[in-house]
Copies of this chain bind each other. A is one copy, B any other.
Amino acid sequence: MTTIKDIAKAAGVSVTTVSRALNGYSDVKELTRQKIAAVAKELNYSPNTLARSLVMNKSQTIGLLVSGFTKESVKDNFTVEVLAGVNECASEMNYDLVLFNTNSSMQREKTYTQLCKERRVDGVIIQGIRTDDPYLKEVVDSDIPCVLIDIPVASENVGYVTTDNELGADKAVQHLLELGHRNIGMINGHEYAFVSQKRLKGYKRALEKAGISFNPGYVADGSFKEDEANEATKDLLSRHPEITAIFCASDLMAIGSMKAAHALGRQVPSDLSIIGYDDILLASYVTPALTTVAQNKFQLGFEAAQMLLNLLSKGDQLKQVILQTELKKRGSTAPNK
C-alpha cells in the first residue's frame, strides 16, 4: 500500500510537499504538483484516512444510533427513509456514516458514548430511542455534537429535528370531526415517546376546540405495535361500542386497528373511521387505503444531518427544526352515519 513517503521518494520531494500538493494547497509549484499527481496515480495511491483523522482529530464520520434494524422492526420503513435522508446529506458533504451496533441480541457492554468516543465520530444522530433509554442522557450530556430525531432536547452541542406532532394530531382529529364523528377514540404509542405525548395533546386540543370533553377511557396504548394496537382496539371498542372513529398514533397501529375492526365485524370506513400517522409505505397499499398524517421522513433525516454538519462547522447554530405534516385523505375515513 503506497504512502506519501513512497510518493515523495519517487518524485524526489519531501513528504510535506506531497501532502500539500495532494491536498490542493496553493503554495506548491504547478510543475511539482503535476509531477506528484502523476506519481500518485502511477503508484495507485490512496490516502489513509485513519492516519489523517488521527492527526487532524476529525474523522469525517458521523455515527448513527438507530434502534430500527432488528429483525422484527423492518416493517416500519420509517427508519430506512430517515437513514436515506441522512445518507443523502452526509454524502453531499463528504461524510461517511457508521452504523453503531446498538441492537445486538447480546448484552451490550459499551454505552453509545463509548462507541462514539472510541470511533472518534465527529458527531452523532440518534433516532428511534426511547426517552427512558439510560444511554440517551449520557450521550446528550457528553460533549459529542448530537442531533436527536423526535426528542426535543437542545443544549450547547445538541439539537433536534421533529415534526409538529401536536398540530398533526390536531389535524387528524379535526378531519374526523369534520366528518361528523363525535365519539373519537385514540390508540397512542407509549409514554416513553415524546411524539406520543404531543399527539395526545393534539387529540385533546382538537376535541376541546369542538367542545367535546376529553374522556380518558377513550384512549389506549398500543406501544406502536400492530398487534398490541389490534388488542387495544378490540378492548376499546368492546368497552365503548359508541366510538365511530379512531385516531392511531402510527400507521402500523392503524393497520392493527383495522384488523381489529374487521375481527369485530365493523366495516372500515362505513362503520368505523380510522386515521393513522406517519404515512408509511403500507398505508397506501392496505385496503382500504389508510387516511393518515404524513411526515416527510426523508427530510427529517436530511435536516438532522444538515443540522449536525452545521453544528460541526460552527456555522449557523440552529438547534431546532420543526417540520410540518400533511393530512392525506384516503379510504379509511368516511362521514359518520
Identify the A interface with B (CB < 8 A): 1, 46-51, 53-54, 59, 61, 64, 69-71, 74-75, 77, 79-81, 83-85, 87-88, 90-92, 96-101, 103-106, 114-115, 117-120, 255, 281-282, 285-287, 298
Contact = CB atoms under 8 A, between A and B. Distances in A.
Contacts of A96: 98-101, 115, 119
26 contacts: A1-B117, A49-B118, A50-B120, A51-B54, A64-B99, A69-B80, A69-B83, A69-B84, A70-B88, A71-B84, A71-B88, A74-B80, A74-B84, A77-B77, A80-B80, A87-B99, A87-B101, A88-B105, A90-B101, A91-B105, A97-B98, A98-B99, A255-B285, A281-B281, A281-B282, A287-B287
A285 B81 CA distance: 20
B118 A104 contact: no
Contacts of A53: 50
Contacts of A298: 71
A323 B1 CA distance: 36
Nearest to A99: B97
Contacts of A101: 87, 90-91, 96-97
Given A49-B120, A69-B87, A92 B106 contact: yes
A37 to B, nearest CB: 14
A12 B84 CA distance: 49
A6 to B, nearest CB: 14
Contact of A91 (B88, B91, B103): B103
Contacts of A47: 118
A306 to B, nearest CB: 14
A74 B69 contact: no
A300 to B, nearest CB: 12
Given A51-B54, A87-B103, A285-B285, 8 more contacts: A50-B50, A71-B84, A74-B84, A91-B104, A92-B105, A96-B100, A97-B98, A282-B282
B100 A88 contact: no
A104 B80 CA distance: 16
Contacts of A80: 69, 74, 77, 79-80
Nearest to A143: B1
Contact of A81 (B74, B87, B104, B287): B74
A70 B84 contact: yes
Nearest to A298: B71
Nearest to A61: B98
A119 B83 CA distance: 20
Contacts of A90: 101
A110 B255 CA distance: 43
Contacts of A92: 104-106
Which of A54, A61, A255 has most chain B Cβ within 10 Å?
A: A54
Contacts of A85: 71
Contacts of A91: 101, 103-106
B106 A48 contact: no
A101 B104 CA distance: 24
Contacts of A74: 77, 80-81, 84, 281
Contacts of A286: 285, 287
Given A91-B106, A98-B61, A106-B92, A49 B119 contact: yes
